[in-house]
Each structure stands twice: as C-alpha cells, then as structure tokens.
Amino acid sequence: MRVPSFPRPRGSLLAGAVLTAAALTGATVPAVAAPLSAPALQDVMFVGNNWEGTADVIKSSGDFAKIGRINVIPDKEERLREIYLNPLKLIFFLGIRETVGEGHDQYVDDMYSTPDGGALVASRPSFADVVSIDVATGQVKWRFPVSGFRADHMAVSPDGTRVAVSASTSNTVHVLDINTGAQVGSFKTGDKPHENVYTDGGRYLWNMSIGEVNNDSDEPWQDFLKGDRKITVVDTTTFKVVRTIDMRQRLDAFGRKDLSDSVRPVAFTPDESKLYFQVSFFNGFLEYDVATDKILRVKTLPKNPNTSDDRKTYVNDSRHHGMSMSPDGTKLCIAGTMDDYATVVDRVSLTEGPLVPAAKPYWATVSGDGKACVISESNADQVTAISFATGQKIVSVPVGDHPQRVRVARVPAGWTSPSGG
C-alpha cells in the first residue's frame, strides 16, 4: 500500500488572480497582503494503545523515540454515562469487553492525522464512534457516532481529506470529511466490515468483511456459520458498488477449500495489480491477481511449536494479523500474531527472512522513510522496527497498554503533549 500523501497549503490564489488581471488590463495593482505561510509539520507515527485509550506519538524513522502522548478519550465520563443509561448500548459495550476486547474495553482502534497536522482522528470501538482530537489542546473537535454499536478499522483517502470507518455491527462503511466529521457517503458491506483500502488515487475504496469472529464455530467444516464474507469495492464519488469478490469461490478454485475466506489485513503492490491478504486461522498469506480475478500463490509460514493448534485459542480467529509492503514492492512484512514473531518475506520468491521474536504482534506498517516495517507488540506494550533490507530488528520502543494500530501521521513541528495527554 502506498503511504497517504498529505497536501500542504499553497500561496493565495486570490493574489495571483489579482496580479494576472492587472497585467491584462493595465490597471493599478492594489496592495495584497502576503499569504500566511503554512505551519511547519513533522512526520511521526501514531500508536493506538487500545485498552488504555491513548495514542503515543513517536518518531517515524531513525530511533523511533517517543515524542509525546494524546488522550483519545477525554470525554470518557460523558460517554460512559450515555452508555449506562441506555440498556441496549450497555449490552453491546459489555459484549465488546468480553469478546473482541479479551476482558478489556476497546478505546482506540485506528488513527490518522488531518492534512494540517492539527488533529488526530480515531475510531473508538467501545464508544461506537470516530472523534477528532485537537493535538494542541487535547479537546474533542468533532464526534461522529457510527451506525450500530462498534467502530473498527479506518482508511484515509490519498489526498488526506476523507476518512472511511467500518461500523462492524451494522455492516456499513461511513466516509467522513476528516476536517469536520460530516458524512459524505456510506455503503453496505458483508458481515463485520474490517479493513478499508483506497486504490486508483482514491477513485475506489475496498472493504474486507471478516464475518463472525466471536463464535466457536471454528472448524473448517463449520466455515459457513461465519456469515457473509466478501470484498466490496465502491466508487468513491457515487458510493455505488462496482465489484464484489467472494474469496470462497477463488479459494476453492485454487484448491484450498480448507482455508477460511475471511480476508484480514491486506497489502497491494505499488501498481495495485496484485493483492496479498491474510485469512482467519492461517499462518501465512495468499497472492491474488486483480485483473484475472484469481489466486496465484499461497505462502505458509512457520508455526511456533508453543502455539496451540486449537483454533478457539486464537484472538478473534486470527493466527496471523498484520502485513505491510515496502514502498518499492519487493518485500512483505508479516505479523505472526499467535506464533509470536514477525518476518520480512521476499515478494518474488516468497522466501521468509529471520523470524524476529515478538509478543503477539497485531499490526505491521511502513516507517516514514520506507526503510523499516513497524509492528505493534500487543503483549509487550511496545512497537518494534524491522529492517526491510536485512529482516533484522532495529529497535523496540515502549508504549502504552495493548498497542494495535500504528499509522504514519503529521503533527506541528516542535509539538509537545497537550495537558492531560
């Protein structure tokens, strides 16, 4: 996947128009105030500490040192009061805690920054919403309650102006203006929408629905009990479905009826011709050709001998959860969640590199300079950078309680944590 670009404000178009008109007509040019320069920004990474309700801000490359922290639930008391006064909301709130939350409330799932670097936008599963937090004051700028009772993975458009969020209990994706929180569109998906990815410069949005991951119908012959799982592709102008991909049919044609068709994290090649994806219960990933609509290859990665093969022990059905691709498209980075390692895989040969020990790695992304894969170690409360070139660990950085999503972002240069962060 490409790292989203964040457009920087340019000079005043009004001033240019005035000067052009004057030159054409011979009129006297009025005095025009010099445009305000855009504030300097610095590249960082947001690390969402899901059970703690905070986001650590770390350097996006180099030593990945911690810069500060943002409280993502400054309105916690207000939200809890609202939930406890609504019996239906309370049922789902407690259900999230006991199922996907592994006994904990889920306060931070996904995060991005606004184009001007002034706010962190985050999905909050247990609060069923998306919020924008001012990085200077720590206050909520806007809040969007999603349909249903849980918010999940997000994606930001390539121009940084829109953010898509999966509302996992209503089978809906909402697309919001990232600066105002106003909904600009929505569409229906399969059961339990999860990962979202923009393609073709933002023309299309792909959603992967993972189905029901909280029941115990985990054996291959019970796969049909996991619900309607599919990839839904929509046009981002009309939000009309342009393509639906049922991986069950493609997996069967490929000869892997034993594999789940629940598509988890994904990574596109730079030219978006191939899609690499993980599925529930599987220690590995598959390669899918977008044009021919066929699965081409499968890669099985090593099992940790200490990891049980009892599928009911896998967190939310995911044996491996988290993958990213180097900017040049030559390497894949895989988080072997239940097998307690991460590894860099050569994309051409599908040969894995060293298995880097990691404590329940839950996500993998690309560093700001594109040289490293950064994984979240949810059981060790740290993030770890791994070199794409060597496959070796670079550094680990302590963060908050149960880090999951990690995203490249921007904040103002010289930024420090707001009070209460």
Query: Is the pLDDT confidence value at 166 over 70?
Result: yes
Using 50, 70 and 90 to split pLDDT, how confident is the model at 36?
low
Query: Residue 44 and residue 57: Cα distance in Å, rounded?
Result: 7
pLDDT higher than threshold 90 for residue 304: yes
Question: pLDDT band at 18, cuts 50/70/90?
Answer: very low
Give the strand pairing for 151-156 and 129-134: unpaired
Mark out the alpha helices in 12-66 (DSSP H runs): 13-25
Burial class, 60, CB count within 10 angstroms (exposed 0-12 / middle 13-18 / buried 19+): buried
- Does residue 114 sit within a domain? yes
Q: What residue spans of 172-274 are helical by DSSP H? A: 247-254
- Answer whether residue 133 shows pLDDT above 70: yes
18 falls within a domain: no
Q: Decide if pLDDT at 13 tops 80.
A: no
C-alpha–C-alpha distance, residues 386 and 34, integer Å? 45
Looking at the structure of the chain, the number of domains it has is: 1
Q: Assess whether pLDDT exceeds 60 at residue 16.
A: no
Is residue 23's pLDDT more than 60? Answer: no
pLDDT tens digits for range 344-353: 999 999 999 9
Residue 368 lies in a domain: yes
In a domain, 242, yes or no: yes
The Cβ-side half-sphere exposure at 386, using a 13 Å CA radius, reads 33
**Residue 14 falls within a domain, yes or no?**
no
Query: What's the rounded mean pLDDT across residues 121-148?
Result: 98
pLDDT, tens digit (0-9, with 9 covering 90-100), for 218-232: 788 888 888 999 999
Q: Is residue 5 in some structural domain?
A: no
Q: Taking residues 35-40, what's their average pLDDT?
A: 70
Report if residue 351 sits inside a domain. yes
The secondary structure of 252-279 as a DSSP string is HHHT-TTS---EEEEEE-TTSSEEEEEE
What would the two tokens of residue 6 be? 């964040």
Residue 5's pLDDT band (cuts 50, 70, 90): very low
SS3 per-residue string spanning 126-159: HHCEEEEEECCCCCEEEEEECCCCCEEEEEECCC
What is the distance between the terminal CA atoms of the chain, rounded to a whole angstrom?
Answer: 31
Q: C-alpha 32: how far from its chain's center?
A: 43
What are the tens digits of pLDDT across the range 392-420? 999 999 999 999 999 999 999 999 999 75
Cα 8 from Cα 10, distance rounded (Å): 6
Strand partners, 384: 375, 396
DSSP per residue, 344-355: EEETTT--B---
Supply the pTM of this predicted model: 0.89
Q: Report if residue 343 sits inside a domain.
A: yes
Over 60: is that where the pLDDT of 374 sits?
yes
Q: What is the CA radius of gyration of the chain?
A: 22
Write the pLDDT tens digit of every residue in 253-295: 999 999 999 999 999 999 999 999 999 999 999 999 999 999 9
Three-state DSSP class for residue 298: strand
- Containing structural domain, residue 386: 41-412
At residue 37, the pLDDT reads 66
Per the rule left: phi > 0, alpha: psi between -120 and 50, beta: everything else, 200 is left
Instruction: Indicate which CATH number applies to the domain containing 191.
Output: 2.130.10.10
Angle (CA) 171-177-182 rounded to 5° is 75
| Tokens 């972002």 -> residue | 409
